[in-house]
Amino acid sequence: MIRHGRRFALGLVLLALSSGTVAADRHIILASTTSTEQSGLFGHIIPRFRDSTGIDVRVVAVGTGQAFAIARRGDADALLVHDRRGEEAFLADGYGLERRDVMYNDFIIIGPGEDPAKVSDADTAAEAMRRIAGAQAPFASRGDDSGTHRAERRIWESAGITPSGSWYRELGSGMGPTLNTAAGMDAYVLADRGTWAGFGNRQNLTVLFEDDEALSNVYGSLLINPERHPHVKHDLAEAWHRWLVSGAGQEAIASFTRGGEPLFVPVVTR
């Protein structure tokens, strides 16, 4: 009994020690947004990048605000996010060397099929939001300082509304949990098209408003300044950064579809 116990314990120790060395070497940590990860895009393009370069990309999917924080602390080798203002601030503070537009898709306004605020009749995104506020229809906001949340606040601003009241619910959650909550309480919600396309628990929710310049959602890749964080795998990260905007990378992004429809549009075709 005791001897068996010892062998078991020894095995566990070896297991514990080995855990640090699982799959090593040529990889980078990419801090990106939950919207891109959850759409399934990375599962499509990273294998292609790996096949041509031998570099693996490990995606840490968090809100855009947290992605910037991780990169500023030097914990990521590369960044792919969707908040132009935040990206420019990142560059201005000297954390990034270069920013490139990679791809875009759009935000959509989603709500209950009955559409009590008549959002689908609106001509602009701002008007759609005004209708929601006017009807005091429940609206689920990310409330997490993510790229989508920042976009939502910009649209409210352009509509001249400071949303408040019991109909406006700040959830402080990622896109998926916010959609889950919205589905549960028949609320309106601003979502990115990628997450929506991959979202399975729609219940009564449907797309009510789309196609407006204000809803454009541009993703940018940032090359991190190696002078700020010397340990960052600059060369590998640069290979990724260049590949994304190369012909091969753009083609890989364009060929990612869901239900027959592309979810992200590469910038070169813009």
Partner 1 sequence: MESADNAFITAFHLIVSMDPVLTGIVLLSLQVSLSAVLIATLIGLPLGAAVALWRFPGRGLLITLLNAFMGLPPVVAGLMVYLMLSRAGPLGQFGLLFTPTAMVIAQCLLVLPIIAALTRQVVEDLWKEYAEQLKSLGASRARAIPTLLWDGRISLVTTVLAGFGRASAEVGAVLIVGGNIDGVTRVMTTAIALETSRGDLPLALGLGLVLMLMVAAVNGAAFLLGESARRQAG
Footprint of partner 1 (CB under 8 A): 1, 9, 12-13, 15-16, 19-20, 22-23, 29, 34, 38, 42-43, 58-62, 73-75, 174-177, 179-180, 183, 195, 198-202, 229, 231
Q: Which of 161, 163, 150 is nearest to 127 (CA)?
A: 161
Label the pairing between strands 139-141 and 168-170.
parallel
- Nearest distance, CB of residue 80 and partner 1, angstroms: 14
Q: How far apart are the first and last CA of the chain?
A: 69
Q: Which is nearer to partner 1, 117 or 175 (CB)?
A: 175
Task: Output the 3-class SS for 165-182.
Answer: CCCEEECCCCHHHHHHHH
- Nearest distance, CB of residue 173 and partner 1, angstroms: 8
Q: What is the DSSP string of 193-262?
A: HHHHHT----TTEEEEE---GGGEEEEEEEEE-TTT-TTS-HHHHHHHHHHHHSHHHHHHHHT-EETTEE
Q: Which is nearer to partner 1, 31 or 126 (CB)?
A: 31
- Nearest distance, CB of residue 62 and partner 1, angstroms: 8
- Nearest distance, CB of residue 106 and partner 1, angstroms: 20
- Nearest distance, CB of residue 95 and partner 1, angstroms: 12
- For tokens 């120790």, the residue is 13
Lookup: tokens for 66: 């947290």
Q: Which is nearer to partner 1, 112 or 159 (CB)?
A: 112
Q: Which is nearer to partner 1, 29 or 245 (CB)?
A: 29
Q: Which is nearer to partner 1, 70 or 135 (CB)?
A: 70
